[in-house]
Amino acid sequence: MYILRRWWERHALQVALVVIAIGAAWAVRQTQGSIIFEVYQTVTRPFQTNPTRQQQLINARIEELENRLFELENQNKKLKEILGSVSSNKEKSIIAPVVGRSADHWWQQVILGRGSKDGIKVGYVVTSPGGLVGKIIATTPHTSRVLLISDPSSRVGVTISRSRFMGFMRGQGANRAVMEFFDKVPDVRQGDVVATAPVSELFPPGIVIGRVESVNLSKSPAPEAIIELSAPINALEFVVVSANKQNPAQESSQGQCGQ
């Protein structure tokens, strides 16, 4: 017993180190080094300049949520603008999202996520904050097709709000259109507001369309003005669809917005 105790006193430290080493090796094998990695991360974290993989994932998630919140706030702002224009309109209106748009026909037509089951009919007028957008030319139970006023085939009867000189407007496949006057010498100037004409059969009168950007009084066969459209046709997300009391029969599509 005395000999064993003497041996232990001499070799206790070595035995303890061996046991610790074996235990550590076993722990590394069982945890695939995660314990050592965590200890290393804890000790070296104050000296690290680059984020850990876990922190990168957390940062990415935070950025995603922030971006989603920003998008929702913008959508909410647009919906509030739409609701404001609807509340000022005494006629029954339907708010519809834009759910389809071809890159090849960006300025010509859009598809709405509301259709005949929601009460939308061919001939209904489509507007947005800013003014006139177009006209419903086809419907299904759950979707509607809109011919935009920016489509080159569209024709809209318009008037200069200040001077009441009239003409018709045709799209140019962009956020500008051309107004051709009926009079040879119209009273028109840059900045004049343009709206739908009182004599129009397919659009209610007084819907804002845009402003005069430039005038060419020497244009033949009739004077012309370039109109900058006021509705954000290039970035539509929601629109307002309403019946046209000027045309109760809501005539079938003729492939154009109509004069």
Which DSSP string do the residues of 103-170 spell out, in sequence order?
GGGTTTEEEES--GGGT--TT-EEEETTEEEEEEEEE-SS-EEEEETTSTT-EEEEEETTT--EEEEE
Q: Report the predicted TM-score, pTM, of the whole model to 2 decimal places.
A: 0.64
pLDDT at residue 160, as a whole number: 92
pLDDT at residue 85, as a whole number: 56
Distance from the Cα of residue 75 to its chain's centroid? 8
The answer to whether 258 and 155 are in contact (CB under 8 A) is yes
With a CB cutoff of 8 Å and minimum separation 6, the contacts of 112 are 96, 97, 98, 99, 120, 126, 143, 144, 145, 146, 239, 241
Closest CA to 93 of 147, 141, 129: 129
pLDDT at residue 92, as a whole number: 77
Instruction: Give CA–CA dist 209/226, Å, rounded.
Output: 12
Which ranges in the chain are annotated with CATH 2.40.10.340?
94-259
Cα separations in angstroms, 26 against 15, 39, 41, 164, 247: 16, 16, 20, 92, 86
Q: Which two tokens stand for residue 239?
A: 């629109």
pLDDT at residue 250, as a whole number: 47
With a CB cutoff of 8 Å and minimum separation 6, the contacts of 133 are 126, 127, 146, 148, 149, 231, 233, 236, 239
Closest CA to 112 of 96, 125, 127, 101: 96
pLDDT at residue 177, as a whole number: 96
Sites in the chain below the pLDDT cut of 70: 1-13, 15-19, 21-53, 56-57, 60-61, 64, 66-68, 70-75, 77-91, 246-259
Alpha helices per DSSP H over the chain = 2-31, 34-44, 53-87
Instruction: Give CA–CA dist 181/185, Å, rounded.
Output: 9
The answer to whether 127 and 112 are in contact (CB under 8 A) is no
pLDDT at residue 89, as a whole number: 54
Cis link prior to 221 (omega < 30° from 0)?
A: yes
The neighbouring-strand residues paired with 157 are 168
What's 94-259's CATH class? Answer: mainly beta
